Amino acid sequence: MTPKHILVADDQTDVLGALRLLLKGEGWEVTTTTSPGGVLRALEADQFDVLLMDMNYTMDTTSGVEGLDLLSRIAGLDSSLPVIVMTAWGSVEGAVEAMRRGARDYVEKPWDNARLMATLGAQFELGRALRRARRLEDENRLLRADGLPGLIAESPVMQPVLDLMERIAPSDANVLVTGEHGTGKEVVAHWIHAASKRSDKPLVTVNVGGLSEGVFESELFGHVKGAFTDAKTDRVGRFETADGGTLFLDEIANVPWAQQAKLLRVLQTGELELVGSSRTIKVDVRVISATNADVQAEVTGGRLREDLLFRLNTIEIALPPLRERGSDIIALAVHYLQRHSARYDKAVEGFEPAATQALMEYHWPGNVRQLDHAVERAVLMARGSSIQADELGLRPTLEPGEEAELAELTLDQAERVLIQDALRRCDGNVTEAAHSLGLSRSALYRRLKAHGL
């Protein structure tokens, strides 16, 4: 269990004694002090996860001026330290001013044990996440200086993934990235390209699953003027554009069967012909592909050529869903909160305890992409300086009892139910439904058509 170190400041020794007993019983390491000067000395000498402090001390027992002054000084020492203030006077004005000075939350004396522990637990998680995010930002700044995009991935389940990425990135091996919608497959492709010997050459991205058979060859291989009715000029294909660099083929399992042989030939030989031309062009391209499908099931079902799969997955990287990434959820939420707060120029700095709990308990069917969307929505909807749970807009994907019923359905039937549920929750808005499912708008339209919806 992660140790939790709290500094408690109050000038009443009976209050400190009661809090020490309560907090130690809940697994906290407790340090206490009785004065503002003691708080500053403790912060200079040690690092704490949370500071719980009274607003009034012996020099001034009612106004809270000492506490407000102390908050300003604490911000200069450690702006990432979560501070929760206590006041016996129930002053809303004083609590608001304390929040302006940097406090994350407040509790009234006498405190409610359950609310106090929930508040401390939420601020502990947020404080750790904020520090991780800032540390990662510093590391990512160095990585970006070296041409590498940043990654927020510290959970244990992501460590084997990161190790594999680091090992294979410098090679020219083709890579297949698998995982549910919204797990960050394109982010992985960008990182691998940036860490490869081809980083000074183009990274070209194409959603091959979204290409119709009529334009597939033209998009990937190019065409010459007059090759077909609308071919007004010559067109350079994606393979040729990516020559010397990396080609990222998204939704690879959705490539029509008839086009898979043409794609396989280029992967085998490095040679292609523009549509309408008999001239052969040689290309040097590393291919990173991605899919949310079970590729072995696609091969067994006759929808994906096995020889094409062999060419694509010299190395396979399987990304875990967000619900399995534990501590990354809050770190990512803090990252998106900072980004969207800056984007929309809103002073939103954290999450209420109930919002933190909602983030950790939600199933995240749309994974990281859905988390980003939920936090962006919450920033826009925020009524104050902290996100409240209802502002995240998270609702159960299924009604009670539906999950058991869903388990009895075939995959096609289950997908239809989930799509209908998403559309119902989003009042028929396809864009919102696609976000909630972790799909692109075009991908959802294809599934709607497939299910006759």
| Domain spans in the chain, listed from the N-terminal domain onward | 4-111, 156-318, 395-453
Rg (CA), the chain: 27
Work out whether strand 280-282 and strand 271-273 pair parallel, antiparallel, or are unpaired.
Answer: antiparallel
Measure the CA–CA gap between 165 and 192, rounded to whole angstroms. 7
- pLDDT above 70 (res 147): no
CATH number for the domain formed by residue range(s) 4-111 = 3.40.50.2300
- pLDDT above 90 (res 122): no
Measure the CA–CA gap between 24 and 34, rounded to whole angstroms. 18
- pLDDT above 70 (res 145): no
Measure the CA–CA gap between 95 and 249, rounded to whole angstroms. 53
Contact 14, 21 (CB under 8 A): no
What's the mean pLDDT in 216-220? 85
The pLDDT, as a whole number, for residue 3 is: 75
CATH number for the domain formed by residue range(s) 156-318 = 3.40.50.300
Fill in the DSSP letter of residue 149. P
- pLDDT above 80 (res 143): no
pLDDT tens-place string over residues 37-92: 899 999 888 889 999 998 877 655 555 677 888 887 887 777 778 899 887 655 65
Measure the CA–CA gap between 152 and 331, rounded to whole angstroms. 7
Q: Taken in order 39, 41, 42, 48, is the CA torsion positive or negative?
A: positive
Of residues 159 and 440, more confidence is placed in 159
Q: Taken in order 25, 31, 36, 42, is the CA torsion positive or negative?
A: negative
Fill in the DSSP letter of residue 182. T
Q: How sure is the predictor about 167, in pLDDT bands with cuts at 50, 70 and 90? A: very high
Q: What is the DSSP string of 96-144?
A: HHHHHTT--EEEESSPPHHHHHHHHHHHHHHHHHHHHHHHHHHHHHHHH
Query: Which of 63-77, 215-229, 350-364 has the largest mean confidence?
Result: 350-364
Whether the domain at 156-318 and the domain at 395-453 fall into the same CATH topology: no
Determine which helix (DSSP H) or strand (DSSP E) holds 54, and give its type and residue range: strand 50-54
The pLDDT, as a whole number, for residue 92 is: 59
The pLDDT, as a whole number, for residue 436 is: 66
Bridge partners (DSSP) of residue 202 are none
- pLDDT above 60 (res 372): yes
Measure the CA–CA gap between 79 and 292, rounded to whole angstroms. 40
Of residues 398 and 415, more confidence is placed in 415
Fill in the DSSP letter of residue 347. -
For domain 395-453, the CATH superfamily is Homeodomain-like (1.10.10.60)
Average pLDDT of the chain to the nearest whole number: 83
pLDDT tens-place string over residues 399-434: 444 444 444 555 566 667 777 777 776 767 777 777
